[in-house]
Amino acid sequence: MKTEKSSISRRSFLKVSALAGGGLMLSFNALANIVSRKPNTLSLAGEPVELNSYIKIAPDGTITLFSANPEFGSNVKTSMPMILADELDVDWQTVVIEQADWLPKRFDRQFTGGSQGIRQGWKPLRASGATARKMLIDAAAQTWKVPSGEITTEKGTLYHKATDKTATYGEMASLAATLPVPKDVPVKNVGDFKIIGNSKKNVDGKKIVTGAPLFGMDYFREGTLTATIAHPPFGMKVKSVDDTAAKAMPGIKDVFTIKTMPDGYERNFFDTNAFNELVVVVGNSTWEVMNAKKALKIQWMEAEPTSFTVAGWGGQKNKVNVPAGLESTVGHKTRMAERGKQPGTILRKDGDPETAFKNAAKVIERTYDAPFLAHNTMEPVNCFAHVTADKAEIYGPTQAPEFISGTIAAALGMPKEKIQIKLARMGGGFGLRAYSHHMVEAAVISQKINAPVKMIYTREEDMTNGIYRPAYTATFKAGLDKDNNLIAFHVKGGGIPEHSVHANRFPAGAVDNYLAEGWSLESNITIGAFRAPGSNFIGGVEQAFLDEVAELAGKDPITFRLELFERAKKNPVGKNNDYDPDRYAGVLKLVQEKSKWAEVPKGVHRGVAAYFCHNTYVAQVLDMTMQKNTPVIQKVHAAVDCGIVVNPDAAANMAEGGIVDGIGNALFGEMTFVDGVPEKNNFNKYQMIRQKEAPKSIQVYFVNNDKEPTGLGEPLFPPIFAAVANALYMATGKRYYSQPFAKHLEVSASRM
């Protein structure tokens, strides 16, 4: 171990008695600052972090570790406490892991998303565990009257070898709570980890498989009523409601309209821009309210164009314009095609691309597009709320309680401090649960009826209510010289209502003449974060295009990419390249080796892709065979550089999930609209990947290094689109430029 001087105030490091019989609770405020001045050491001083956790030690030795981040399947409830437990030096088999509720006085930015949980929690969790352990050692040293440096710990027990004295953490916890916070906080060397790097089972695994109540749908309180809502098509609003028949049906308590956001409310980044006014049916049971909703006679009318201010990151404020009109997929495609012919906003320019293209020996240009996508989480939207004059109790699935709490407070006309949000385990998120409008809806309904309420969406409501992955398009152009070197590259991306061009990502930095442009079109269809937001489209199409460029150059696709990384390493262009070419090339070389890239089995068609996003490098090789006109994914090899892997089995599971999810969306994912109405409202129309379509085998290889952990929930998702597309080309001899790919295969089949 090495030590690091730290400045930890009592305000940042709260110590309070735990339980009536004494004990210790150690809590770390998320605004506590952390700086690492020497290798292998951490402190609570320096730049702010967003994540926190705390430790409760009871006199009987029971150690409870609280997980502050909401859990939606990424296993943060297991992996993040593992970091804390390792530095605390406790027995993982005996600790208790509990989900913390939204507690803004102890935690800040309790947010799960962007593959940032482990990355942002790494330093504060290690510092928390190490500092708590040091305080327990100091308590034992004072009790035994020996130097603290002679005391060791193991599995929650303190030892002094010379005197043969031992004590559990529980025995020293009360005294530790009275001691000064230490200024020197030793943390472990990577090689000394006992828990980190060793697979641990999901702490909720048994509860999940046995059906124990964990999810929002499980929650019930005596006297709770059930509510469901009717929302208009996109671009419309309520004109009138005839609820006579619905109110007369058995079990129905009331039918009314609500507004979820007050006029003039300044929205935050995760507030939606559609369906502010909704029709609500409240009754005794789910079956009764859903039947009554069918009996409603609602007249919709076109909504006027609107604009509002959205508070973004870092205090930035953006004006959002929402146009009027009923939008359709046909119109979207026409608008994007026309806009794509015009120049976009220049995001980056290196060299002289125009001249380079004029002088190029070979030029290739391709345009790709992808549709809106629905999240389709396993658990439909739901939320429990009980609002009284004194407080609002909310229980349901959310990725971002901090961001929605202000919206709830504004909608209820209640101080934020009176909002209590209990975090349910989520049945999927993928970005959808960051937009927790369902919590606002449930709260407003409860306030209106003055009773606890469980608000539930049907699958149809969930699928047609947004929030969607935007529709995207991108045009790529590449120029080669007479020696087949890449001398010019141009990407121009657009979308409804945003583009997905990352101007400083590869191949920026590897090409002398480079141009990136972006444009967008306004829409009243609500969009938001979708697994690997901003990367899920552009990563796939970029990698599909690079395969075409490699083919034009007469080069192996992996060799072609490695040559570009070598250029970016030895003689990079520009100073803002956001990737490490060595680590990027490293995953490509690893997957090349593990897949035996040059030894393609007979009848197998291979596609490769590599991408960097969410601070992680991924390369994939996909093996495909064809049964008549149907692609069969035989195997996927994936190489991942995400730094230290905290929980290997869980990490592999996440990687596998991202791959399967990506293949499904590449082949089948598509939401279409006619006059503001989503055409697909259930799984009989919106095709999801099925077991027979998933890869028969997935092999995940993690790069072994000592770098701090980065993201993992999202980075494997974008490149698999390209691996599928490139394998399809090898299998069919055709390139597909429009997603989903299965629709092209169906057309081919119908013509045979």
Q: Is the dihedral of CA 561, 562, 564, 568 positive or negative?
A: positive
- pLDDT tens for each residue of 152-170: 999 999 999 999 999 999 9
Residues near 478 by beta carbon (within 8 Å), at least 6 away in sequence: 363, 364, 365, 486, 488, 489, 490, 545, 549, 552
Tell me which amino acid residue 653 is: N
Residues near 192 by beta carbon (within 8 Å), at least 6 away in sequence: 1
Q: What is residue 518's predicted lDDT score, i.e. its pLDDT?
A: 98
318 is a domain residue:
no
Which strand (E) or helix (H) includes residue 513?
strand 513-518
Residues 116 and 243 in one domain: no
pLDDT at residue 386 above 60? yes
CB 69, CB 89: distance < 8 Å: no
Q: What is residue 25's predicted lDDT score, i.e. its pLDDT?
A: 65
**CA 386 to CA 476: how far, in whole Å?**
53
When divided into structural domains, the chain yields a total of 3
Residues 682 and 544 in one domain: yes
C-alpha closest to that of 469 among 497, 503, 437? 497
Q: What is residue 149's predicted lDDT score, i.e. its pLDDT?
A: 94
Residues 482 and 561 in one domain: yes
316 is a domain residue:
no
What are the Cα distances from residue 708, in Å, to 123, 126, 701?
9, 12, 17
410 is a domain residue:
yes
**Looking at per-residue confidence, does 64 or 752 come out higher?**
64
Query: 43 falls in which pLDDT band (50, 70, 90)?
Result: very low
pLDDT at residue 20 above 60? no
pLDDT at residue 677 above 50? yes
The mean pLDDT of 339-368, rounded to a whole number, is 98
**Looking at per-residue confidence, does 111 or 23 come out higher?**
111
The mean pLDDT of 666-677, rounded to a whole number, is 98
Residues 197 and 257 in one domain: no
The mean pLDDT of 674-689, rounded to a whole number, is 96
**CA 18 to CA 22: how far, in whole Å?**
6
Q: What is residue 26's predicted lDDT score, i.e. its pLDDT?
A: 60
Query: 748 falls in which pLDDT band (50, 70, 90)?
Result: low
Q: What is residue 273's predicted lDDT score, i.e. its pLDDT?
A: 72
Q: What is residue 641's predicted lDDT score, i.e. its pLDDT?
A: 98
Residues 151 and 293 in one domain: no
Residues 490 and 369 in one domain: yes
**CA 547 to CA 549: how far, in whole Å?**
5
323 is a domain residue:
no
Which strand (E) or helix (H) includes residue 323?
none
DSSP structural state of residue 512: S
pLDDT at residue 256 above 80? yes
Residues 367 and 385 in one domain: no
Residue 710: give its domain's CATH number.
Answer: 3.30.365.10
DSSP structural state of residue 691: G
Residues 529 and 480 in one domain: yes
**CA 728 to CA 420: how far, in whole Å?**
51
Count the helices and strands in the chain (H runs, E runs): 17, 35
Alpha carbons within 13 A on the beta-carbon side of 351: 20
> What is the span of the domain harbouring residue 549?
343-373+468-751
- Relative orientation angle of helices 717-732 and 648-668, to the nearest 10 degrees: 50
Q: What is residue 37's predicted lDDT score, i.e. its pLDDT?
A: 30
211 is a domain residue:
no
Question: Which residues face 17 on adjacent strands?
Answer: none
The mean pLDDT of 9-21, rounded to a whole number, is 39
The mean pLDDT of 40-48, rounded to a whole number, is 37
Q: What is residue 272's predicted lDDT score, i.e. its pLDDT?
A: 84
335 is a domain residue:
no
**CA 724 to CA 741: how far, in whole Å?**
9
- pLDDT tens for each residue of 435-472: 999 999 999 999 999 999 999 999 999 999 889 999 99
Residues 411 and 285 in one domain: yes
pLDDT at residue 42 above 60? no
Residues 111 and 172 in one domain: yes
Whole-prediction pTM: 0.93
**Looking at per-residue confidence, does 173 or 517 come out higher?**
517
The mean pLDDT of 367-390, rounded to a whole number, is 96
The mean pLDDT of 555-583, rounded to a whole number, is 97
**CA 51 to CA 29: how far, in whole Å?**
8
Query: 24 falls in which pLDDT band (50, 70, 90)?
Result: low
- pLDDT tens for each residue of 45-57: 333 222 235 788 9
- Looking at 203, 238, 269, the residue that finishes a domain is 203
- Looking at 427, 456, 485, the residue that finishes a domain is 456
512 is a domain residue:
yes
**Looking at per-residue confidence, does 174 or 715 come out higher?**
715
pLDDT at residue 3 above 50? no
- Looking at 203, 238, 261, the residue that finishes a domain is 203
Q: What is residue 181's predicted lDDT score, i.e. its pLDDT?
A: 79
Q: Is the dihedral of CA 312, 317, 323, 329 positive or negative?
A: negative
Residues 220 and 172 in one domain: no
Residues 100 and 127 in one domain: yes
Query: 312 falls in which pLDDT band (50, 70, 90)?
Result: confident
Q: What is residue 70's predicted lDDT score, i.e. its pLDDT?
A: 93
- Relative orientation angle of helices 401-412 and 437-449, to the nearest 10 degrees: 30
The mean pLDDT of 565-589, rounded to a whole number, is 96
Mean pLDDT estimate for the chain:
91
Q: What is residue 104's predicted lDDT score, i.e. its pLDDT?
A: 81
Question: Which residues face 376 on adjacent strands?
Answer: none
Q: What is residue 628's predicted lDDT score, i.e. its pLDDT?
A: 86
408 is a domain residue:
yes
CB 531, CB 717: distance < 8 Å: yes
The three-class DSSP label of residue 721 is helix
**Looking at per-residue confidence, does 630 or 750 come out higher?**
630
pLDDT at residue 316 above 90? no
